[in-house]
Amino acid sequence: MAVIFPRAANLLIPALLVVAPPGGIAAVAGAWYYFSPEFTDVGYAPDQPVPYSHKLHAGELGIDCRYCHNTVEQGHRAAVPPTSTCMNCHKVVKTDSPVLEPIRNAAENPDDPVEWTRVHLLPDYAYFDHSVHMAASVGCVSCHGRVDQMVTVHQEEPLSMGWCLKCHKNPEPNLRPAGAITEMAWTQADHPEFDATARAGEVTPPQHCSGCHR
């Protein structure tokens, strides 16, 4: 009888048994990371219709986050500021800047607003309330990073379920006095008088599914 397969083919099954397990583990590990928010979302910095610098406005000029995102303490969203908020300053500052033409146009034509691109976008099945976290004394920097140092805002944290649960299980490192919520440079290490442990005992972040999936 003619030999169809060479003798070396006998090694194929043992070789697969040796290669397949670590190969499968590597494939699963690769998918676990490269398809996770830590890889796909962190660093996301979309182009905007107007190059707005948070480093200039929040950092150098010291504008409080709540001046522009004025619903963050009362609502679940940190609203994108209306054109009128921009024009409070820019009707007298850089009034002829070509970069700000879309802002001036939107102010003159309310039906043609500036189409900003949202940076931090949670899935529809995840519920997040900014006002609850503000009331719990969680600093803006815990989720958004040092926005006051960003020329172009990017997503600093993965905002994944595991990342959120890590804070819900141990909120203490992210807590601060209510008056320092928007102070980007504030740290517990610089303020030993703040009793983070006592504050953590006053908040009860949910760890059950219905807390975020409603």
The residue ranking higher by pLDDT, 187 or 17, is 187
Number of residues assigned to the chain: 214
pLDDT at 33 over 80: no
Q: Domain-by-domain residue ranges, the chain?
A: 12-40, 54-80+118-211, 81-115
> What pTM did the predictor assign?
0.82
pLDDT at 1 over 60: no
The residue ranking higher by pLDDT, 14 or 148, is 148
Burial class (CB in 10 A: 0-12, 13-18, 19+), 85: middle
Number of H helices, E strands in the chain: 10, 0
Q: What's the pLDDT score for residue 3?
A: 60
Residue 138, beta-bridge partner list: 175
Rounded mean pLDDT, 27-37: 67
- Quick one: pLDDT band at residue 135, thresholds 50, 70, 90? very high
Q: What's the pLDDT score for residue 127?
A: 94
Q: What's the pLDDT score for residue 159?
A: 96
* Least confident window among 3-17, 41-55, 175-189: 3-17
| % the chain with pLDDT above 90 | 77
The pLDDT tens digits of the residues spanning 180-203 come to 999 999 999 999 999 999 999 999
**Single-letter code of the amino acid located at 151:** V
DSSP 175: B
CA distance 72 to 130: 6
CA distance 202 to 96: 51
Helix, strand and coil percent figures for the chain, each rounded to 5? 50, 0, 50
Q: What's the pLDDT score for residue 32?
A: 61
Could you tell me which of 50, 47, 56, 46 has the C-alpha nearest to residue 104? 50
- Quick one: pLDDT band at residue 171, thresholds 50, 70, 90? very high
| % the chain with pLDDT above 70 | 89
Q: What's the pLDDT score for residue 6?
A: 72
DSSP 5: S
Could you tell me which of 150, 129, 143, 157 has the C-alpha nearest to residue 72? 129
